[in-house]
Amino acid sequence: MRNFELPGRSPVHATSGMVATSHPLATLAAINVLQSGGNAMDAAVAAVAVQSVVEPQATGIGGDCFVLYAPKGKGDIVAFNGSGRAPKAATPEWFANNGVEAIGEHSPHAVTVPGAVDAWCRLIRDHGTKSIGELLQPAIRYARDGYPVHSRVACDWKKNMPTLAADPGSGRIYLPGGKPPTIGSLHRLPELAKTLEAIASNGRDAFYQGAVAEDIVKRLRNLGGLHTLDDFAETAGEYVEPINTSYRGFDVYECPPNGQGIVALMMLNILAEAGLDRFEPLAPERLHLMIEAARLAYAERDAVVGDPRHAEVPVKRLLSADFAAGLR
């Protein structure tokens, strides 16, 4: 119920479950799953699958998937790293021998093998109560029949029009009639619907082996990428040990590096002794402290956080009270 006396979002109260996503259609899909007897993991996968359709500027089956999950009745926090990795051939030696000194934002070398679909299927197998086929149905329906374009999505779409137009495939799919979809217009993604239908019927292998993987690899290699069918077939996420800190009596968990959640924990440690409760929520002094904490944490991330398979990441030191005190 909307509280007209408060700016921004109103408090929400519930007795059996809650869902929070960045898009109302994704939230609706997750609530429907819960109401039909599904658990939190079922609802999460249904929601993010819908987001991959209705928020193409932010979410997609070609991306990554980091997960924190608290199984019902258990005290442990489960962390899963479903991030994609670079192709095996993308070695420092290859880049040096081929004169590649920097990887541009739109370079094929910036594209990792997608980990999201593998993560969805693995997590539903291990923790879900419904089938991946059932959970993908709302996303398939929106992709096939169309969905109304949200205002934020339309704004981002318009800003990225030059990038989309530069690629014939992207332009054909995401710029119907040569223009970005407008607010409230109905947009369809029939090719994506077919891909999701294949995953619904045949699981992760429908994405990582066969026609879908072949199409992606062919396109990337035509652009100069190093991806192979073996890179796709061998993709597999993994369970990892979550990292955490304590903030004002609450335990806060994140996925470890190569995930970026350690930045949030570092910010909390820096702010723990800042006395934020002295200020109103939007007071300039409070915002200044939070901004500076973010700047300090991101600077440390850029300096030392990477993939622990290839670099030593001093997680314990970065989350220590002494380290936070030294940054304040």
The Cα 47–Cα 70 span in angstroms is 17
As a whole-number percent, the residues of the chain with pLDDT over 70 amount to 98
Multiple choice CATH, 243-327, 1.10.246.130, 3.40.710.10, 1.10.10.10, 3.40.50.10140: 1.10.246.130
Average pLDDT for 159-176: 91
* Burial class for 118, CB neighbours closer than 10 Å (0-12, 13-18, 19+): buried
Query: Residue ranges of the alpha helices (H) in the chain?
Result: 24-35, 40-54, 92-97, 116-127, 132-135, 137-145, 151-159, 161-165, 168-174, 190-202, 205-208, 211-222, 229-233, 262-271, 284-304, 315-318, 321-327
pLDDT tens, residue by residue, 71-128: 887 788 999 999 989 999 999 999 999 999 999 999 999 999 999 999 999 999 999 9
Average pLDDT for 47-53: 98
pLDDT for the residue 72: 85
DSSP run (H or E) holding 69: strand 66-69
Q: Give the count of beta carbons closer than 10 Å to the beta carbon of residue 302.
A: 10
Average pLDDT for 143-158: 94
pLDDT for the residue 1: 59
* pLDDT at residue 163 greater than cutoff 80: yes
Average pLDDT for 35-56: 97
Average pLDDT for 320-324: 91
* pLDDT at residue 6 greater than cutoff 70: no
| DSSP-derived secondary structure letter, 19 | -
User: What residue ranges do the domains of the chain occupy?
Assistant: 24-146+188-239, 243-327
